[in-house]
Copies of this chain bind each other. A is one copy, B any other.
Amino acid sequence: MKIVIVNGSARKKGRTGIASRHFEKSYGTELIDLSQLKLPIFNGEEDQYHLEEVKNLKEKIGQADGIILASPEYHSGMSGALKNALDFLGSQQFAHKPLALLAVSGGGKGGINTLNNMRIVARGLYANVIPRQLVLDPDCFDYENDSLLPEADALAKQLMDELSRYIKINNLLKEQER
Contact = CB atoms under 8 A, between A and B. Distances in A.
Contacts of A42: 10, 74, 79-81
Given A39-B41, A81-B41, A87 B113 contact: no
Interface string A152-170: 0000000000000000000
Contacts of A83: 74, 77-80, 83-84
Interface in A29-63: 34-35, 38-39, 41-45
Nearest to A123: B76
A116 B178 CA distance: 39
Pairs of residues from A and B, 10 with the lowest C-beta to C-beta distance, nearest first: A80-B84, A76-B124, A80-B83, A75-B124, A10-B43, A77-B121, A80-B87, A11-B44, A41-B81, A10-B41
Given A75-B121, A81-B84, 13 more contacts: A10-B42, A11-B44, A39-B41, A42-B79, A42-B81, A74-B86, A74-B87, A75-B124, A75-B125, A77-B120, A79-B83, A83-B83, A83-B84
